[in-house]
Amino acid sequence: MILLEKITMDEFKKYLKKTKTIVFPFGTIEEHGSHLPLFTDSLIIQESLYIAAKKKKFFLAPIIHYGVCTTTKEHPGTISIRPETLRLLSADLVIESYKKGLRNFLLISGHGGSLHMSALKETAESLINHLENVKIAVFSPYDILYKELSAIVETPNDSHAGELETSMVLYLTPELVKGRAAAEYPQIPKPFIVKDKIKYWRGGVWGDPSKATIKKGERAIKLIADTIISVIDEIEKTSF
């Protein structure tokens, strides 16, 4: 496992001869109901990547714990950043890594918010036109594995802090799951953008956490880790 923050510069040069791939993980500090920790998004993607990194050789960068949160922005504990901040940060990370010889870049997010993902994708669209011989993938597991992950859980339309995320945190760190919040779905009136989002989504849960199990969480984490390996395999062997 090549953890970027734990290797020396000599080890970096040695590993660079074996792989030109680096993964930048993105998470959040964001409310996840009254029962899950604020770093749930970070925890899920980081642990999935650790599993993948034990099976596949690539540079794994330290996780970025802050992201763009919109619907949860006003809830206690959420610390959001602006889309432009994320665009600038992710661009700098790729550019500086490119200067050091890396060529395959994966920006993988444990947070699937639309503005958050849009910021990362905008960065990639810009860089792909300015850097020679680079390949970039941007995704959240919840985007590319929606059907497969939905099939693991019982709750229809399950999402934020619901059955799936609670199951994964139960599997990874059961000691951090503080009971179960009540089942809930956002009631924000569409297509309107409202300022007081807590009024329409008091508990910050989207789904039914009571149906979560460790077994479901294990299946989901394994699926995410295996899919990450598949994407890395593809980016390394395919010319786009």
Q: Cα 210 to chain center, whole Å?
A: 23
pLDDT at 133: 94
Spatial distance between the Cα atoms of 158 and 138, rounded to a whole number of angstroms: 23
Q: What tokens appear for 6 in the block?
A: 């734990």
pLDDT at 218: 98
Task: Give the structural domain span for 184.
Answer: 2-237
User: How many distinct structural domains can be found in the chain?
Assistant: 1
pLDDT at 56: 96
Rg (CA), the chain: 18
pLDDT at 238: 84
pLDDT at 29: 98
Closest CA to 173 of 1, 35, 23: 35
Closest CA to 48 of 230, 235, 240: 230
pLDDT at 151: 97
pLDDT at 239: 78
The model's pTM: 0.95
pLDDT in tens, the chain (240 residues): 999 999 999 999 999 999 999 999 999 999 999 999 999 999 999 999 999 999 999 999 999 999 999 999 999 999 999 999 999 999 999 999 999 999 999 999 999 999 999 999 999 999 999 999 999 999 999 999 999 999 999 999 999 999 999 999 999 999 999 999 999 999 999 899 899 999 999 999 999 999 999 999 999 999 999 999 999 999 999 876
Closest CA to 87 of 46, 122, 40: 122
Cβ atoms of 80 and 66 within 8 Å: the answer is yes
CATH number of the domain at 38, please.
3.40.50.10310
Residue 226 class from Cβ within 10 Å (0-12 exposed, 13-18 middle, 19+ buried)? middle
Helix (H, G, I), strand (E, B) or coil at 74: coil
